[in-house]
Structure 1
Amino acid sequence: MNEIFSRIEHSRTADDVVGQVEMLILEGVVRVGDRLPGERELARQFDVSRPIVRDALKALEARGLVVTRPGGGTHVADVIGEVFAPPVMDLIGQNRKAAADYLEYRREVEGIAAELAARRATGDDRALLSAIMRRMEDAHARGDFEDEVAIDVEFHNAIGECAHNIVLLHTLRSCYRLLADGVFLSRSLIYAAPAAQDVLLAQHRAIYDAVVAGEPVRARQAARDHIDYVERAMNEAERSGEWQRVSRLRLRQRGGATAASA
């Protein structure tokens, strides 16, 4: 990890260290699972003694913000957690209205995030987005489906970071955890068709272009258009799957399975 901690100028207490780490977690600079530098390196960056760093790490662990793994260092804890309890996730994962509500929620929230990102993105934010966009286009060109799907979520997370709103950032991360876990829909259903992959890449590029150009209205609309397409593609994929299932059963019922496979 690059040096992201700043020298503590005044009292140099464990509370000062804790406060700085807390803000880095809140601002999304360090994320779930990120490993913090070792005790000695932290002491150097903060310019405090190692006992102060040790006390700060204990306090952070007691607050549930970091976890220490024997022999594995100190990592940012899962501060996002599960949005819903597992039984509720099972229920909503099987409910079509819940899936529609999820996309409706994403449409509005991602529109706001893209608009704010276009207004607030810094030069460094734009550089980060550019790197992600290049990786997405490279994965698309290579036909690396799994990599492109993973970068999809990373891209949307980055847009949320560029909005520079702490509550929005963590709300979106919770939202994308549901997406990554496939609670509401399987991204593989949408990405299965090459034509859909081309459209999705173009839509991500449209969001990116608007944010980088600093055009908030266009950015918001591009984000909303993207979710509208995802919803249509998901519904079409589900319909196609259901049609295939019914037609297979019909063929089997009418004694055509043997003939079809001959």
Structure 2
Amino acid sequence: MFEPVKFYGNLSEGIVNQIMQAVNNGEFKPGDKLPAERDMCIMFSVSRTVVRDALKMLVGLGVITIRHGMGAYINEVDGTEDVSRLASLLQISRGTVEELFQVREVIESQAVIWCTQNANEQDLRLLQHIVRKGKEVGDAGGESKLAILDAEFHLKIVEAAGNRVLLRLMINLLDLLGENRARALMVPGRQRLSVLEHETIFEAINQRDPELAHQRMLSHLANVREAIQSVEPVPAQEEWE
């Protein structure tokens, strides 16, 4: 069921992603017990500290409950409630745009790996269509249409990854970033670069190269973040008030 965590990023997050995917796929059902910590250390090829950090994250997400002396058990997971709870936590903490992008990087860098592994031919055709439309709109200079296509591209990747909870959370994040995303596309040259970066991400997905897709997604998001910072983005807390 599980495999050693590949060092695409944070090891604990890699474990969380595998367990959440197993829950989403029905391999784990509510009430099921997770393997013991020592067994997970062997399965994931990590230390006990890494496993414990992953379990803490899963508790925070509401995916598991730890019963002392008994182990960790899968909760009844409602994706909508989980996302609402996470969105509420973001609002309560009044996180900055920088913090929202950190969350987005965690979600999309993993989602693009799963997309590369799980996308079917229809998913690939739709992604290619969005990229082509982006080129056409970019050449015509349509910022508003390009912003819509940008959201469609990123949401389609998360959808093709096959994790419904991540998809709902991604929708919330794009909403929270709101005006800042559109303003980033107004930075001179950003529209053209965004289209080109989407194309390179799609090429990596189409080649079924998860590591390359992961690297290109992180590079793209870093560039978008830099563009947003250059136009003095609206603070996230103002959007939530």
TM-score range for the pair, normalised by the shorter chain length: 0.5 to 0.7
Question: 3-state DSSP class of the match of 2:162?
Answer: coil
Question: 3-state DSSP class of the match of 1:223?
Answer: helix
Identity of aligned residues (%): 23
Question: 3-state DSSP class of the match of 1:192?
Answer: coil
Post-superposition offset of 1:83: 5.8
Structure 1 partner of 2:188: 194
CA pair 130-82 structure 1, distance change in 2 beyond 3 A: farther
Structure 1 partner of 2:211: 217
Structure 2 partner of 1:161: 159
Structure 2 partner of 1:121: 119
Question: 3-state DSSP class of the match of 1:214?
Answer: coil
Structure 1 partner of 2:230: 236
Post-superposition offset of 1:82: 8.8
Relative to the length of structure 2, the TM-score reads: 0.57
Question: One-letter code of the match for 1:219?
Answer: A
Distance between the aligned counterparts of 1:205 and 1:111, measured in 2? 16
Distance between the aligned counterparts of 1:162 and 1:235, measured in 2? 29
CA pair 142-101 structure 1, distance change in 2 beyond 3 A: same
RMSD: 2.8
Residue 133 in 1 paired to residue 123 in 2?
no
Post-superposition offset of 1:142: 1.1
Q: Confirm or deny: 8 A CA contact 2:187 2:231 kept in the other structure.
A: no
* Superposition map of 1:25-64 within 5 A: none
CA pair 188-124 structure 1, distance change in 2 beyond 3 A: closer
* Superposition map of 1:85-124 within 5 A: 89=91, 92=94, 98-124=96-122
CA pair 148-100 structure 1, distance change in 2 beyond 3 A: same
Q: Confirm or deny: 8 A CA contact 2:123 2:160 kept in the other structure.
A: yes
Post-superposition offset of 1:100: 1.1
Distance between the aligned counterparts of 1:222 and 1:172, measured in 2? 18
Post-superposition offset of 1:210: 0.8
Question: One-letter code of the match for 2:122?
Answer: D
Q: Gaps (5+ residues) in structure 2?
A: 1-23, 26-79, 235-241
Post-superposition offset of 1:175: 1.9
Choose the corresponding residue for 1:174, options 166, 172, 175: 172
Question: One-letter code of the match for 2:212?
Answer: R
Distance between the aligned counterparts of 2:167 and 2:182, measured in 1? 25
Q: Deviations over 1:201-244 (max 9, x none)?
A: 111111111111111001111111111111211222229x9xxx
Q: Deviations over 1:33-57 (max 9, x none)?
A: xxxxxxxxxxxxxxxxxxxxxxxxx
Q: Which has the higher contact order (CA 8 A, sep 6+)?
A: 2
Q: Confirm or deny: 8 A CA contact 2:184 2:228 kept in the other structure.
A: yes
Q: Deviations over 1:140-190 (max 9, x none)?
A: 1111111001110111000011111222222222222223x33xxx12331
Question: 3-state DSSP class of the match of 1:194?
Answer: coil
CA pair 188-125 structure 1, distance change in 2 beyond 3 A: closer
Post-superposition offset of 1:194: 3.1
Relative to the length of structure 1, the TM-score reads: 0.53
Question: One-letter code of the match for 2:161?
Answer: A
- Greater CA radius of gyration, 1 or 2? 1
Post-superposition offset of 1:134: 1.4
